[in-house]
Amino acid sequence: MARKTKEEALETRNHLLDAAEDVFHRAGYARTTLEAVAEAAGLTRGAIYWHFKNKSDLFNAMCERVRLPMEELASSGVNSDNDDPLGHLRSVCIFFLKQAATDIHMRKVFDILYNKCEFVDPADPAYMRQQEAFLNGRARLVKMLEFAVEKGQLASDIDVPLAAVMFHAGIDGTIRNWLFADGSFDLAAKADRLVDACMDTIRHAQSLRKE
């Protein structure tokens, strides 16, 4: 009986997250209310508070549902035993772009983050969590590039922090541009070449070498 209750609670939680995706995507972060999410889910506002503290907590949980699997995949290659850190980075980025193009949950969440968020309070837990996730992603990338230097896959004089900024911006900007002008290019079909362009830049750009 207890197991069934846990399963039902998880099902309700996921149902609320699905409803939150739809409402945040339609109305944006600032204009979304818990009442609107409850109505979309066909539940009471009290049901939301059973699972989430407030709107920021609900928003972060919605983002984590699609982000955590990607973070775990990326983190699996951040270790000195990985003999092909750049190969792992390439595979993760291609998978990420293709998932963004084909997975409806990921697509909605990233469209919300890039195009429908009006964060104006740096103390908002939702803003703080998004910034934390951004910086953690950059830190993982720096570590992976450092391992690539150790393995001889990148030049020893590469400016790793600067290269991480450029690479991160390239992947992030690709997603942002595709979402903003949906249909302007085939993200899933071009994912390999777009990632390889970013890889070629950190391998060969003289402007990314240490001064």
Q: Decide which of 74 and 96 is more confident.
A: 96
pLDDT digits (tens, 9 = 90+) for 127-182: 999 999 999 999 999 999 999 999 999 999 999 999 999 999 999 999 999 999 98
Give percent of the chain with pLDDT exceeding 70.
98
For residue 14, pLDDT over 70 is answered with yes
Residue 82 and residue 5 in one domain: no
Residue 135 and residue 36 in one domain: no
Q: How many CB atoms lie within 10 A of CB 66?
A: 20
Dist. CA 181–CA 48, nearest whole Å: 33
pLDDT digits (tens, 9 = 90+) for 39-84: 999 999 999 999 999 999 999 999 999 998 888 888 887 777 788 9
For residue 3, pLDDT over 60 is answered with no
**Could you identify the residue written with the tokens 């508070």?**
49
* Residue 41, CA distances (Å) to 12, 35, 64, 134 in order: 9, 10, 19, 30
For residue 1, pLDDT over 50 is answered with no
What value does the mean pLDDT of the chain take?
Answer: 92
Tally of domains within the chain: 2
Dist. CA 67–CA 59, nearest whole Å: 12
Residue 126 and residue 150 in one domain: yes
Q: How confident is the model at residue 4 (pLDDT cuts 50, 70, 90)?
A: low
Residue 196 and residue 109 in one domain: yes
Q: What is the CATH number of the domain that holds 38?
A: 1.10.10.60
Q: What is the CATH number of the domain that holds 150?
A: 1.10.357.10
Residue 35 and residue 98 in one domain: no
Domain membership of residue 144 as a residue range: 55-208
